[in-house]
Structure 1
Amino acid sequence: MDAEAVRERAGELPREPGVYLFEGGDTVLYVGKAVDLCDRVRSYATPRSERVRRMVEAADGIDFAVTDTETQALLLEANLIKRHRPRYNVRLKDDKSYPLVQLTDHEFPRIEVTRDPDDGAMAFGPYTEKGRVETVVKALRSVYGVRGCSDHKYSGRDRPCLDHEMGLCTAPCTDEIDAASYGEDVESVVRFLEGETGALAEPLRREMEAAAESQAFERAAALRDRLDAVESFHEGGGEAVADRTEATVDVLGVATEGGSATVARLHSEDGKLVDRERHRVEREADQREASEVASGERQRPASGEDERRESSKSASGDGGAASGEADQREASEVASGETDVPAVLAAFVPQFYADRPLPDALLLPEPHGDEELARWLESEGVDVRVPGAGREAKLVELALKNARRRGGQADGAAALARRLGLDRPERIEGFDVSHAGGKAVVGSDVAFVDGAPEKRDYRRKKLTERNDDYANMRELVAWRARRSVEGRDDRPVPDLLCIDGGEGQLGAARDALAETGWDVPVVALAKDEELVVTADGVHDWDDDDPALHLLQRVRDEAHRFAVQYHGTVRDEVSTPLDEVPGVGPELRKRLLRRFGSVDGVRAATREELVDVEGVGDDTAAAIDRAL
């Protein structure tokens, strides 16, 4: 769509709250919410970034839905994003960092751990520990034989695969089990995932006891460990949710520093974690609140609360004075910049929920200490708890980790977004290549999420042996891009790629993206002068720029990971040192680590060689003769 088409369509939309959907053919490209649909959509006639411009150009239509309130628009937006998974809603990609378990919508459903469930699939979770989830899924397959293979592997078989031989699948692909029996097994799996632990624990316990009786002790021990994981799955180590008897639960965590704080909120509905967000509480806002409190202008967000408070004061006789003293005390605390956790909670809760629905339960790290707030929450039917142990305490701990994740640091991702004209890059992947004169060529692919390393998403790859940095980078980026485009990489699509190198490496990476059709922004960072290279040119950012600092962290980690892997691969490669008398595998490793390569060893003086542990005069002379 061009600017005129966007303006024309915007003129047809109502001036009411709701959601809008940019569509390209049968695909939803972007979902957004608006207080005024007409004004919000009209703003896309002049895109605010290159990514938005590409999205608008790819769209051929705009659909919409009207809601009664902005809050309803927010909830509808979230549901539509989950349903359609639009490619341009990049800010929500990190919400898939928790794994789910899905049973696909097939005649013979497939079970698998995923972060991106299929349309029509039954999804359970999210869960906090992927390793435990995988253990439980394997246990479910071993007991009930539900298939875990891809559709490609499943179709057209004339004999069962290895999973059937290992007891992990009942092989519906070759009619080893009928549909009715398979369906019963799937129902048992569903019962377990919905909370009936015994559906899996009891069969495992019987199998463990049978193995012990037959003196198969190693198998019994393995089954015992699997049983432990299963029995604790719904007790706090597995599902990242709160009590299923409460429809909505919010969990708050607070991280404080100086005169400001960060509040992280986890929100669950019907026992499933559906949202995570962080909010900054700045001292400037506290000063305004202090002024309001001191002047008696502060308002609570609940209708009728003022009347209840006034009647309470009248009944008590001295309630007004007590309330005034409390307000003055709170004003003093806020004005002085105090950001202790109870004060932050007491200020945050009424402000945040002023125009949002209250949850059924609110889990806090500490008591908020505000009696008026407590009365208001109680009158609204909110159960406030400060858990000390168990599953709820683990949820509070998770919220605290979210709050602390970026505490006290400049927001490099936001600065980077402003610098590059992008949406905030929540996920950045860094790439580097390491080799020794074209030998032992390897590449690294590291991931940063919200400014912090996500080491479980690190990948490394051996590359074609050649002394060509540009070709090596092109091969590395093309490998990552192709796996993502073909759906063979279970990691989320990054919001930005950071290449270790200059204009040549950036050009090679851009060639790889164009070749594979992977539409991801990319920049490069050259080491010597720390220049940022983009498609628009070379930029020299200030040394204290948080955007530069973030790129440097990603670049340096990619470099470290590549060099580490190169050292491992290099030590495995045959070199001329292998033929030198007196040089064994360990001494060869020490020489290569000291001098970097065989050429480095060749250029070393006799004195430098002797300085290496294990090298004497005779061995140094032998190395000289051989090289």
Structure 2
Amino acid sequence: MIKNIKTFLANLSHHPGVYQMLGDKGEVLYVGKAKDLKRRVSSYFGGKSKDPKTLSLVEHIHDINITITHTENEAVLLECNLIKKHRPRYNVLLRDDKSYPYILISHHGYPRIDVYRGARKKNALYFGPYPSSLAVRETISLIQKIFRIRTCRDSYFNARTRPCLLYQIGRCSGPCVKLISEADYAHYVQLAILFLEGKSHQVIEELQCRMETAAHALDYELAGFYRDQITRLRQIQDRQYVNVTHGNADVIGFAMQAGIVCLQLLSIRGGQVLDSRSYFPAVPAYSHTDEIIEAFLTQHYLADASHVESIPRLIVVDAQILEQKLLENVLAEQAGHKVEVLKPSRGEKKKWLAMATLSARQSLSAHIYNKTNLQERVLALQAALNLKNPPRRIECFDISHTMGEATVAACVVFDQNGPVKCDYRRFNIHDIQPGDDIAAMRQALTRRFKRLQKEHALLPDLVLIDGGQAQLAAAKDILADLQIHSLLLVGVSKGPDRKPGFETLHIDGLPPVRWPADAPALHFIQQIRDEAHRFAITGHRQRRDKTRRQSPLERLPGIGAKRRRDLLRYFGGIQGIAHASLDELTKVSGISRSLAERIFAAFHDTTV
């Protein structure tokens, strides 16, 4: 069974996606989809009774691969493709080779729309695949309501002498009896195609223009028809994400944390994700993102002959490749067709890249928090710091502010199983000189350890301080004042340009030291330090944004809720107060001359 499952589950995402359960040799045992990955995967390891198949599966799981998707529908399609590819022995109910349905738009003077399965031919347009026939029929029904495209077979269409019931209920425009011209019908077909391609905003813009034209012509019935079309489109605009990338593409997401890199490769073929793989290359210290991705492209596509045939026409990356043209030419020569390496700035490809990046972060998080990996780092840290026992509890402190504004200190806690998020704490720092990080650290440490002493709570074995000798000295003074002598203090100062791998460690009682960039102990410290930084900056931004949203009245001493309410009612809002004179302010009940002067000064940045 997978080791340290609690830590793995704690770091799972709530996004939709696909999970692959692997055996001891890396073989795929089971592929499943989930609307909520964390909830679904956790259900396998809960206390509820399970059927024999699930019990057997759980006993043989040694690892789990996670792929995040945009939607649950996309997860269904990816699940199907992975099952067809790997044939997992526990996917008993999903082994049929029945293909997923497409939406077909025929080539005809008055094209029809229909459900289609099987090999695609050249005499029609295809959209999909869709996860079920129901999904296709719901989409076709929607297209009928909005665009009134016919669904009848050509033989039925050619035999009509009067419109059918679908025309009567507003789901067809009656092309069989020429109630709409070919040009107008073709226009609606084009709008339907844009809709199926996920370009609803373009359709809405076109319909808005037509609605305004009809309204100016006083044709309010037609304008109302367009209005209803727009309303329906806006209601379902966020549901359509099936056929967004045409042709074939590889999308490569990138994530780096604590000295470890993950590259997530999404293989998109015909508009759907066929496969998703995580790669964890060995990366020299001080490597740039662009350099790492370029090296990966070269080695992945060119070093392995089996990959040459799979080189797509489009490779989407989040990097500016230095030798882009050269790389494209070499890839094209090997593949036998043109290859484009693209860093998108907007649009659908940007969305795919964002999803690949999110999957890379998830995979990297799971990789980092793997128990074997984590225990190795704990033991490495014990050896590097010459500790008698592995540290059972580690706390790390970091300070975050913007030019001294809204200073927040953060404390994160790790044990031998990873982060203990329920013990994380933030401290809003008050009454210090803006930008004084040492004073902020003193305040945070004092509040933290006084509270631990008061509650007789467990003290850490090791405390990491984000900073150098000055911060370390401040921490030593605080702990000495509180008569706490049983823990080790380590300051972590950033390297040149804040690059990971070049940190200087200030260990209490020892001269400063710099560990090798690939040292597991350093990676563990980086991981904890980065988590403290993330937690601190998130709290700082929340506090800063809240402060900036406050009006001067809320920050002014002597102005409580009742006086604020009276001022707002009298002047009709903040703008009225801001433009009021001193005499006008004193007319409000409860506002003295001196208080009016302070209010006036607060809004006009003057000293009265």
Q: TM-score if structure 1 supplies the norm length?
A: 0.30
Determine which structure has more spread, i.e. the larger CA radius of gyration. Answer: 2
Q: TM-score if structure 2 supplies the norm length?
A: 0.31
